[in-house]
Amino acid sequence: MKSASTQTLAVLLFLQTCNAFLVSPRSRIFTTSQLHVASSIPPPIEQVKVAPSTTVTHAVSQATSTTNLPSQKDLAEKVGSKSQAAAPAPKSTNVASGSGISISDIHYNGDVPRTEADEYIVISNKSREPIHVSGYYMYVATTGTQGPTFYFPKGTVIKGGSSVRVYTNEIHKESGGYSFGSGKAIWSNNGGLGVIKDSKGKKLDEYKYKPN
């Protein structure tokens, strides 16, 4: 009986010793070497994506070059100012309406019998510049109303300091080649009045004559 009790006590002591080393099934047991290796592993490095520097440099250089370029409006203004400075406005070949145009003489007593076709009125440009007289007209105003009338044709120019003649019914190219085309005398030998107006009807001059 004594040996059985001793054996029972030994078993109980053995079981108690084994319980001291029991570990929860959820727990992990690491050896000393494993703990040393785990502590020596560095933490993971976070990866940061950076755009290529060449792309940023290209964008900056492109923006800088675009900013420095002049706009189309600035270029147009510069070109326009240069062209205006290089090409001055052409000098006009015409003066103000009526400036310098006048009646300088009326040869009323012709030598041609009955019709006096060689009568004429002299129109002068007393300015230094040529004057376009297209549409200007003159007429006999002896009776106080507009009598026989002559219109200068389109494109007629009287040079500065020169004169032209308008005959009653003759053509003389050396003096302009103009004529009233009247089959009878139009300027009274007893005195009369001649009037010239521009193409808008503004009176430029009148010439009153008396017999000698």
Q: What is the structure's pLDDT at 212?
A: 78
d(CA 146, CA 199): 16
Q: What is the pLDDT along the chain (212 residues), one digit of tens a residue?
A: 445 566 666 666 666 655 544 444 444 444 444 444 444 455 555 554 544 444 434 443 444 444 456 666 665 565 454 434 334 434 433 344 447 999 999 999 999 999 999 999 999 999 999 999 999 999 999 999 999 999 999 999 999 999 999 999 999 999 999 999 999 999 999 999 999 999 999 999 999 999 87
φ, ψ of residue 181 to 5 degrees: the values are 70, 30
Residue given tokens 């200007």 in the structure block: 136
Q: Which of 204, 182, 193, 181 is nearest to 108 (CA)?
A: 193
Token pair for residue 168? 């009653």
Token pair for residue 87? 């090409």
d(CA 120, CA 170): 9
H helix intervals, the chain: 2-19, 32-40, 53-68, 72-86
CA distances from 176 to 24, 98, 102 (A): 137, 19, 16
d(CA 174, CA 168): 16
Q: Which of 155, 153, 150 is nearest to 166 (CA)?
A: 150
Token pair for residue 27? 């727990």
Q: What is the structure's pLDDT at 90?
A: 40
d(CA 182, CA 135): 19
- Beta carbons of 150 and 137 less than 8 angstroms apart: yes
